[in-house]
C-alpha cells in the first residue's frame, strides 16, 4: 500500500487538496476543537521530533500537528471526500499508535483498536469505487496508546489501487514528460532518528510516478535521494538510474552537471541493494519486534547475523542482490589486465602487493575504483570473500596505468586473519596461493568508479 495522495482528497470547505482536520488537546474529543486546518494527507506524527521542530522537515514533508509540547494528549477528526482516479477494486487502511475509525459514505468500514507501545493497523474490505465519484470520508483518531511518553501517536491513511490508477498529480507529470525529449524523475525517502522506514519500497506513490512517466517517455532518468537501499520494481524498463543519497544544499547544481554530462558520475555503492524486502539475509531482525524484548529500555540487543554483515551475508546465503556492494557504472568503461600477486618475503607480516593494468577503453575521462577481495580457508568459517583493499585511479580516454593495491597483514583491521572463538585468538593466513587462485577465477577484482563534485557523490546504477 501507499499513502493516499492529496490530489484525490478534498476538504469539507475551501479549495485545494486534502482534508479538513479538527484537533483537540485531549484524547476524547471533549469541548471545542483547539485548531481547525486543512491537511494534505492523513500523516499524523507527533512525539520526540515535535520537541525540535526544525528536525521535522527531514523526516516528513508535512507540517507537524499543532502541539504545545511533544507529549501533549491529542485527538483528531478528518472530514472531506475521496475521489477514485480509476474505476475498480480498492482497499483503504489505517496504521499507527492509538485508536481510529474510518467511515465512507456514512458506513464505518475500518476500526483500528490500539494497544500501548504497539503499532496497530486495520484494513477495509475490497471497495468497488467509480472513477470521478466523490465519496464522503470521515476519520477519527485518538492518541491514547502511545509508544512511550515521548512518542504519543502516529496515524497514516493508505490504500491499494487497481493497476495504473494514477492520481491527477501523476497524470500531470506524465503529460509533461510526453512533451519533452527526456524526463527526470526525482524520488526520495523521508526518515530520521526514531523515524526509520517500515519497508524498502519508495514512499508515497513514487513507484507509480516512475511507471507513468516512463510509459509517457522512454528516455526517463530516475534520480534516487535516499539514505540506503530501496527496491526498484520498474528497473528493467528504465534506461538510467542515478543514486545521489542526501546531497545537501548544493545537490541541485551538482546533479545538473552530472545529468548534463559536464561531470562523469563514478560512484560505487557502499551497501547492497536487495531485490525485495524478503530477499535479504536471515538473522537481520528488529530486536524490539521480538516478543521477549518489547521493553524499549532493554539494551540487550541480539545480533543474530554474527560476522555475516552486509555483502558477506548475501554471499554466505547465496542470495543474488539487485545491486551488489561496490557496484557502479560510468560514462566510460575500463578493462583490467595482467594481474599479478607478489610478496617481498616469507614472513606472515610481509605486505602483499596486487598489481594489474587498468585501461580506460571509453571516450571520456573517468575514475575507477579497483577492489581486491580475499577468500579464507573453509575451516575458518568465514564468508566466501572479504574486501581487503581498493584504490582509485583517474584515467583519460584511452589511457592505461599500472595499479598496485597493497594488503598489509599487520593492519589493525586484520585483513588476512580470522578469529577463532574457541581459542580466543586471531589466526593469520601464511600463504597467498588461495588469493592467486581466486584472482585467476575472476572473483576478487571488481572495477568501479567514484568521484565527487561539490557535495554530491553520484553513482550511476544503470545507463542506456
Using the 8-state DSSP alphabet, how is residue 326 labeled? T
**pLDDT tens per residue, range 214-226:** 999 999 999 999 9
Please give the share of the chain, as a percent, with pLDDT higher than 70. 85
**pLDDT tens per residue, range 395-421:** 999 999 999 999 998 898 899 899 888
The C-alpha atoms of residue 445 and residue 424 are separated, in whole angstroms, by 32
Q: What is the pTM of this model?
A: 0.86
Burial of 132 (0-12, 13-18, 19+ CB in 10 A): exposed
Q: What is the pLDDT of residue 462?
A: 59
Side-chain-side CA neighbours of residue 229 (13 Å): 23
Lowest mean pLDDT of 83-97, 185-199, 380-394, name the range. Answer: 185-199
Residue 430 has pLDDT above 60, yes or no: no
Mean pLDDT across 381-398: 93
Degrees to nearest 5, angle at CA 21 with 20 and 23? 155
Q: Give the pairing of strands 19-24 and 88-97.
A: unpaired
pLDDT tier for residue 460 given thresholds of 50, 70 and 90: low
pLDDT tier for residue 191 given thresholds of 50, 70 and 90: confident
The three-state secondary structure class of 344 is coil
Q: Which domains does the chain have, with CATH numbers?
A: 2-163 (2.60.120.380), 166-279+320-330+451-464 (3.40.50.1700), 287-316 (no CATH), 334-448 (2.60.40.10)
The C-alpha atoms of residue 9 and residue 132 are separated, in whole angstroms, by 12
**pLDDT tens per residue, range 4-57:** 999 999 999 878 999 999 999 999 999 999 999 999 999 998 876 655 555 554
**pLDDT tens per residue, range 124-172:** 999 999 999 999 999 999 999 998 887 889 999 999 999 999 999 999 9
The C-alpha atoms of residue 60 and residue 191 are separated, in whole angstroms, by 7
The C-alpha atoms of residue 350 and residue 407 are separated, in whole angstroms, by 9
Contact 373, 386 (CB under 8 A): yes
Which H or E element spans position 175?
helix 168-178
Q: What are 74's three cell numbers?
A: 491529542
Count CB neighbours of 419 within 10 A.
Answer: 14
Amino acid at each position: 500500500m501507499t499513502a493516499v495522495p492529496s490530489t484525490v482528497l478534498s476538504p469539507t470547505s475551501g479549495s485545494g487538496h486534502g482534508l479538513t482536520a479538527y484537533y483537540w488537546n485531549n484524547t476524547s474529543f471533549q469541548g471545542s476543537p483547539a485548531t481547525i486546518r486543512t491537511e494534505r494527507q492523513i500523516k499524523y506524527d507527533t512525539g520526540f521530533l515535535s520537541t525540535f521542530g526544525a528536525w521535522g522537515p527531514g523526516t516528513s514533508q508535512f507540517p507537524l500537528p499543532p502541539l504545545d509540547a511533544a507529549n501533549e494528549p491529542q485527538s483528531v477528526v478528518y472530514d472531506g471526500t475521496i475521489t477514485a482516479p480509476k474505476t475498480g477494486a480498492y482497499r483503504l487502511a489505517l496504521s499507527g499508535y492509538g485508536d481510529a475509525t474510518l467511515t465512507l459514505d456514512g458506513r464505518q468500514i475500518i476500526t483500528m483498536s490500539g494497544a500501548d507501545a504497539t503499532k496497530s493497523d486495520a484494513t477495509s474490505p475490497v471497495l468497488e469505487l467509480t472513477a470521478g465519484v466523490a465519496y464522503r470520508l470521515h476519520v477519527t483518531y485518538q492518541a491514547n496508546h502511545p509508544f512511550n511518553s515521548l512518542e504519543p501517536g502516529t496515524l497514516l491513511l493508505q490504500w491499494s489501487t487497481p493497476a495504473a490508477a494514477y492520481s491527477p498529480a501523476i497524470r500531470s507529470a506524465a503529460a509533461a514528460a510526453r512533451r519533452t525529449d527526456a524526463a527526470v524523475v526525482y524520488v526520495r525517502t523521508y526518515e530520521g532518528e526514531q523515524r526509520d522506514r517500515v519497508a524498502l519500497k519508495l514512499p508515497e506513490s513514487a513507484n507509480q510516478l516512475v511507471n507513468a512517466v516512463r510509459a509517457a517517455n522512454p528516455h526517463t532518468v530516475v534520480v534516487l535521494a535516499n539514505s540506503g537501499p530501496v527496491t526498484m520494481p520498474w528497473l528493467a524498463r528504465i534506461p538510467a538510474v542515478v543514486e545521489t543519497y542526501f546531497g545537501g544544499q548544493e545537490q541541485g547544481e551538482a546533479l545538473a552537471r552530472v545529468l548534463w554530462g559536464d561531470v562523469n558520475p563514478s560512484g560505487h555503492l557502499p551497501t547492497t541493494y536487495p531485490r525485495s524486502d524478503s530477499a535479504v539475509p536471515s538473522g537481520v531482525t528488529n530486536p524490539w519486534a521480538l516478543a521477549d524484548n518489547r521493553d524499549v529500555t532493554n539494551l540487550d540487543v541480539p545480533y543474530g547475523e554474527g560476522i555475516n554483515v552486509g555483502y558477506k551475508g548475501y554471499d554466505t546465503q547465496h542470495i543474488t542482490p539487485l545491486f551488489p556492494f561496490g557496484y557502479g557504472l560510468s560514462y566510460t568503461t575500463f578493462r583490467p589486465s595482467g594481474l599479478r600477486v607478489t610478496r617481498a618475503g616469507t614472513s606472515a607480516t610481509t605486505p602483499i602487493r596486487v598489481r594489474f593494468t587498468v585501461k580506460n577503453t571509453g571516450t571520456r575521462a573517468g575514475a575507477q575504483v579497483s577492489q581486491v577481495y580475499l577468500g579464507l580457508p573453509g575451516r575458518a568459517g568465514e564468508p566466501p570473500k572479504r574486501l581487503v583493499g581498493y584504490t582509485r585511479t583517474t584515467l583519460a580516454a584511452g589511457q592505461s596505468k599500472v595499479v598496485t593495491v597493497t594488503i598489509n597483514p599487520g593492519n589493525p583491521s586484520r585483513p588476512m586473519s580470522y578469529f577463532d572463538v574457541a581459542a580466543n585468538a586471531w589466526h593469520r593466513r601464511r600463504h597467498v596461493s588461495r588469493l592467486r587462485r581466486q584472482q585467476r577465477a575472476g572473483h576478487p577484482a571488481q572495477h568501479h568508479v567514484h568521484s565527487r563534485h561539490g557535495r554530491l557523490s553520484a553513482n550511476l546504477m544503470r545507463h542506456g
